[in-house]
A and B are shown apart, each in its own frame.
Chain A
Amino acid sequence: MTLVVSDLCVDHGAIRAISGVCFEVGKGQLAAVIGANGAGKTTLLRTLSGLKSTSSGTAFWNGHDLLHAKPEQLVRLGISHVSEGKSVIPELTVEENLNLGALWRSNGAEAPATLIQVLATFPRLAERRSQLADTLSGGERQMLAIGRALMSKPELLLLDEPSLGLAPLVIAQIFQSIRDLTSAMGLTVVLVEQNAMSALKIADIGIVLNLGSVVVSDTAKNLIENPQVRAAYLGY
């Protein structure tokens, strides 16, 4: 039960955004991918979820090829992607946004049970069930986006900068939920973050990207103590 990425190269036209990236994430692990703006983090996640096509390399999730499938197929393999920037649909209500994540599951009977579970995880969403997503605050939207991904009963969760534009307190809250979820549901998580310190604190392993290549990958603990990483990404 692992995510294995090897020699991955991805191009945006003439720009090589990812070059020769290799890493592994074991089942139940939370991997933090950190790196400066434009390092290729978003591109990496979009490739893993099928939104972006690859140039070369391989990526497997439990033996399933990720690089030649469409996002809607990958969801059915247990992969959920929360894309950059609060991926909710503002024209739908909170409940509709959540239900959207469970639409594809043929045995819709469990969907209500999942809904209850998700609403229990994010009680603020429960209060706002019939409100339009448009009217939510930034933090609530991020919770909704994660909640929608959870509704698909994922085994691998890809999160792209959940802390984007949120206040420190809210970030702490969201990160805590992510940690709890990982442990409680046995999820495997790839968390992309600018906010390197907070991410590494909750992560099991860390991967540092720079200009599309992996600079270091190690356990999160070691990375926090690594002087170069501290200087370059943690700011002290």
Chain B
Amino acid sequence: MHKILHTNLGRALFFTALGFGLFLASNRIDELRVYQGATLAMFVVAISSLILLTGYSGQVSLGHGAIMAIGAYAAALARIHWGLPVWLCFSAAVVVAAFAGAVLGTAAARLSGPYLAGTTLALAVGLPSIANQFHVLGGEQGLLFDIGQPPSWLGADFTSYKWYFWIGSSACLITLWWLQNILRSRYGRTWRAVRGNEVAAQLCGIHAGKSKTLAFSVSSGLAGLAGALLAMTISTVSPSAFPLSLSFTLLTGAVLSGITTLPGVIIGAVTLVATPEIADAISQRMANSESVTTNLPGLLVSALLILVVLFVPNGPVEQMRMFRVKARSHTKN
């Protein structure tokens, strides 16, 4: 199994098989779960973009929610004004967000940890207000993002939620496959080198600034895609869909996944999707007062974030790997 995954063709086949499995699954589960599946796919893409940034280039962004908004608005505008087909709208989201990321990344490359964190935080707070300034962005209500009915050849009982799920999981699988490849490429190695030791990397002839800008830009492109996916599932793009808390939630997801490694991404995404439901269940059992209901998800997410940083700072996947290495060295002795 592992060997197969280490070849290009193997990985492509693996992701195709996974996609087929998901497609079959979508026929057997109820609508709500299908919808959650679409959200899950969106979170996987968004969290991967953050992991790429933090885990492979050592930068941290508190403003990926804002970059998602950029992608979402790009997709919606392309749809409304040019009536582009859906897949082109998503591509537009990626390109525009990646471009914004490149601009921001140029500044970001010169900033170290806390500076970048603060700057992206300022972006997350500042960006939504632009929607109110420019008429084309639709103000508080935002814009409609309607990706249309599923194609008729999929059958009459193919619901739009299923269609969302389909699009979402395809985008997600393509993203993961592509990420696996790029992280194994020269770029991936460069990023790891820069994260490991910026000075040493520079001495080896790597342009650390360029490499960081590229990482920021690629990460933003993926975030833009996630933004468009989010907009798709809620059919609108508005400032309130991309609040500051979204950026924090994503970061939590990334930390839960193990912010330095990609394979854990599904753990983070599932947790983010599950948290509101768990919170709901708990608050219904408990007080069922409004203040508990609205605040419990936030409380759970923050508590998880803190617990993970304190006790499994490298994430569950890395932790398991370390356990295994330890166990192995024990048996050897």
- A–B touching in complex (CB under 8 Å): no
Residues of A within 8 A of B (CB): none
Q: Which residues of chain B have a CB within 8 Å of any CB of chain A?
A: none
